[in-house]
Amino acid sequence: MTKVFFISGIDTEIGKTYVTGTLLRALIAKNISASSFKLVQTGGQEGQISEDILVHRQLSSVKPTALDINGESVGMQFSLPASPHLAAAVEKASIDTTFLAHRLSDYIEKIQAEMVFCEGAGGIFVPLNTSELTIDFIQKEQLSLILVTSAKLGSLSQTIACLEALAARQYLPVALIYNPYPQQEKAILQDSEQFLRTYCKQHYPAVKCLSLYECQNGTSLYKWFSEI
């Protein structure tokens, strides 16, 4: 049975696409069948391969598949680089989360991979339509959530706020992945990572904290993912 993980972030431009590609590269390098799906692509063109899917394939050294070329590895795609609900509205469309669920399910069935990572658009609480947020879709489909955070200024506060909001929903992520981008100051990089590890251990011990470096070990990742 395919294990499906939803990749979201504390904010947009947080490194979800890069993290997804890194996970795929590590697993595929160990001959583990893994693939990815983009829930909603904004800033893309209908009929073209999702930009984020292309990055996933490039990072994992995999050529785009027929499913990618046919647009089956993306739920919906809109040209305006904006929140999904707005990008859809500009094109006089709306996002039906039941339709998205069917698209994801069809992809999983066709790709026949051991693991599939579904990357969201924007942050964890971004609206998909006027009544549903990304987290609502994740909860409804009961997908294991991987939350990406970063070292940018303000990320500690945002991360803690996200964790508290998710805890209130009783839907904590199975993992928190720390992406060191875009910080260059070593002291900040190390302190932010250590703070998050300590904070999660004290307040959310079920959440596994991983650095981007740790995500490059395919053997360890596979063992951990298999146990979820």
| Residues catalogued as catalytic | 38
- 195-213 as b/e: b if 16+ CB within 10 A: ebbebbeeebeebbbbebe
Q: Is 122 annotated as a binding residue?
A: yes
Contact of 124 with 9, CB cutoff 8 Å: yes
Q: Is 18 annotated as a binding residue?
A: yes
d(CA 137, CA 142): 8
Helix axes 97-111, 134-141, angle to 10 degrees: 50
The SS3 call for residue 128 is coil
Q: Is 106 annotated as a binding residue?
A: no
Helices (H), the chain: 16-29, 51-59, 66-69, 84-90, 97-111, 134-141, 155-168, 186-203, 218-227
Radius of gyration of the chain (CA): 17
Q: Is 15 annotated as a binding residue?
A: yes
Q: Is 52 annotated as a binding residue?
A: yes
Q: Is 218 annotated as a binding residue?
A: no
Q: Is 17 annotated as a binding residue?
A: yes
d(CA 50, CA 47): 9
Q: Is 175 annotated as a binding residue?
A: no
Q: Is 97 annotated as a binding residue?
A: no
Q: Is 16 annotated as a binding residue?
A: yes
CA nearest to 111, candidates 220, 219, 4, 8: 4
Helix axes 16-29, 218-227, angle to 10 degrees: 100
Q: Which segments are annotated as binding site for substrate? A: 42
Q: Which segments are annotated as binding site? A: 13-18, 42, 52, 119-122
Q: Which segments are annotated as binding site for ATP? A: 13-18, 52, 119-122
Q: Which segments are annotated as binding site for Mg(2+)? A: 17, 52, 119
